[in-house]
Structure formats: structure tokens, C-alpha cells
Chains A and B, each alone.
Chain A
Amino acid sequence: TQLLEQSPQFLSIQEGENLTVYCNSSSVFSSLQWYRQEPGEGPVLLVTVVTGGEVKKLKRLTFQFGDARKDSSLHITAAQPGDTGLYLCAGEYRMNRDDKIIFGKGTRLHILP
């Protein structure tokens, strides 16, 4: 069974601080996606990482895919209240010739002004 563990589950920090959230698994994924979900809305894709060791930057957000393609991290620099939300990672893998996707339970981030 494929599992994605996200940590921490909750994080509350002051505006301007830096933070890192993690997405870990014992399984290998062909790619990994990060989504952000705000209250009352559906998740919105932030980034997809495909290659082991890949690093992608989206303004103040830096995403990294582990060398072995089993884990990923999201680093936010100088967090702002607008970064508040539920961050979900989703891993894509192949099973029985079918492409599948599994979601972690998410990290709920709250940035205090």
C-alpha cells in the first residue's frame, strides 16, 4: 500500500519567518505534486516535480524532490498571511499498468500577522 506522510500536521508561525514542510514515503513515485487548499475551496496545483533531486522555485516557495524520488519538501521564505492554507502533497505511481495518484493528509499552515 502506498502511503504519503506529511509533517508537521499543523504549523503556526509569525509573518516573516521561514518554514519547511515534508512529504515522506517508503515508496518510489514517478512524480510528486504539491497543492494548496484554502478554506471553502478545492486544492490548487502549485508545482509538479519529476526528476530525483529536482528543485523548483515559485517566488518564495522552494520545492525539492528527493534523490530517490521517495520524499519531497516545501520551503517557504519570509512567510506571509496569504500563505495560510492546507498544503497537500500527491505522489504519482504506476501499479498493474495503471497510473495512480495518492494524497498525503496535509500540513495545515497558519501565518500570524
Chain B
Amino acid sequence: KAGVTQTPRYLIKTRGQQVTLSCSPISGHRSVSWYQQTPGQGLQFLFEYFSETQRNKGNFPGRFSGRQFSNSRSEMNVSTLELGDSALYLCASSSSRAETGELFFGEGSRLTVL
């Protein structure tokens, strides 16, 4: 079956702009989590959605937001971009009702903020 699909794969933005990233989970998976990956901080949890509800949220400012649609597809948005937002943003889907369980990651969206 098709894996987790993230779009776009690469994008360049300037400070102050906003960006929307999209994630299509594996068919049948209802849990979608978002992570930010940087060389210095590693993988950091942003938020997790299950059945269109945000079930958990990491320690990121309110500029980072997300949502999940009825078909389980998810989007995350970052407003008023800062240089430090440059990172690989990874989406992971899971079939488990609990937050944990095997995570299936997409290839990520690499964001560069100039």
C-alpha cells in the first residue's frame, strides 16, 4: 500500500511569510503526528491528530498550527516565519489509537527560510 506522502518536498520562503505543509497518511491510519528535525535539536514533536482532533501538542509557539480532515489528511501551518524555522518537517502516521505504536514517516518537507 502507498506510504505517507508529504508535499511539497522542498520549499524556500523569506522571513515573515507563512507556509502550509500537507501530509497524506497511509490508508486506514487515523493518527497523524508532525515533527521538526534539525541537526542541533533532533526530532522534536509538534502535534498529533486523531480523528480530526488535536490529541497532543509539543512545546512550540502558537505560530505553528495544524489540522486534520475527515479523510485523515493533515496540514500544518507556520506563520510569520523565522530563520530558525528552517528544518525538515516530518509527518508520521499510525494505525494505533494510542499516540504511540509504530510510526510510519513520510520523506519530509525541507523548509528553508531566508
Contacts and interface: CB of A to CB of B under 8 A. Distances in A.
- A and B are interacting partners: yes
Interface of A: 31, 33, 35, 40-45, 48, 88, 90, 92, 98-106
Contacts of B103: 33, 35, 43, 45, 90, 101
Contacts of A99: 98-100
B105 interface: yes
B108 interface: yes
Contacts, number: 53
Interface string B35-76: 100000111110000000001100000000000000000000
B71 to A, nearest CB: 21
B43 A88 contact: yes
Nearest to A106: B42
> Number of contact residues on B: which range applies?
20 to 34
B99 A42 contact: no
Given A42-B108, A43-B105, A98-B56, A103 B42 contact: yes
A103 B99 contact: no
A39 B83 CA distance: 23
A100 B45 CA distance: 10
B44 to A, nearest CB: 8
B81 interface: no
B21 interface: no
B42 A42 contact: no
A77 to B, nearest CB: 25
Contact of A42 (B56, B98, B105): B105
